[in-house]
Structure 1
Amino acid sequence: MQPLITKFFPSIQMSKLPDEEVQAIFFYGQQDIRFGLLIMNWDHFGGDDELREILAIDSSSVGVKLFVDYGNLDQVKHDLIDVWSNGPFED
C-alpha cells in the first residue's frame, strides 16, 4: 500500500497513521484498495463534493454495499468517521 500512497496521495504520511485508519483503508478497500485510499484521502483533505464523487464513481462493490441504505450524506459521514476513528474490527 505504501507505493500507492506515495504515488497517488503523497501528502498522506502513512507512517504516522494510527492502526485504526490503516484497518479502515483495508476494510473500505476490500475489493478495490483504491476506494479505501480515496476514502482516507477524503477524511484528511476532502469535503462533501469530493465524497459524493467518490461514492458515485469510485466506490468498489464493497463500498456500494456499505452505503446503499443511507438516506443522506451525513449518515454516510457519521459511519465513515466512526470506523476511521475506532477501526472496523472493534468488539
Structure 2
Amino acid sequence: MALCQHLQAIEPIIPAAAYSCAECLALGDTWVHLRVCQSCGHVGCCDSSKNKHATQHFRATQHPVVTSAEPGEQWAWCYQDQAMAEY
C-alpha cells in the first residue's frame, strides 16, 4: 500500500513547545499522549486525552500530519487521508 502524499513529504520538525500541551496547561487539565504537527510544530494532546487538542488543531488549520511525541514511538498520522506510517 502506497503512502499518502502528505506522509511521503514529511521531514520531522522541532515542536513549538517543550513536549507539553499548552492548551491543557492553560485549562489546568492533563493529557495522555502528545502529538506534534508537522506543518507548524504545534504540540497537542491525543484523541485518548479529554480535550483532543491535536485533532482540534487539524480541524482549525487543516495541517494534515502529526507525529508522536512519545519516547520510543516513531510514527506519523495523516488526518486528511486517514493513513499511518512508521519511520
Instruction: Return the TM-score normalized by structure 2.
Output: 0.31
Q: Which protein, 1 or 2, shows the higher relative CO under an 8 Å CA cutoff with sep ≥ 6?
A: 1
Instruction: Return the TM-score normalized by structure 1.
Output: 0.31
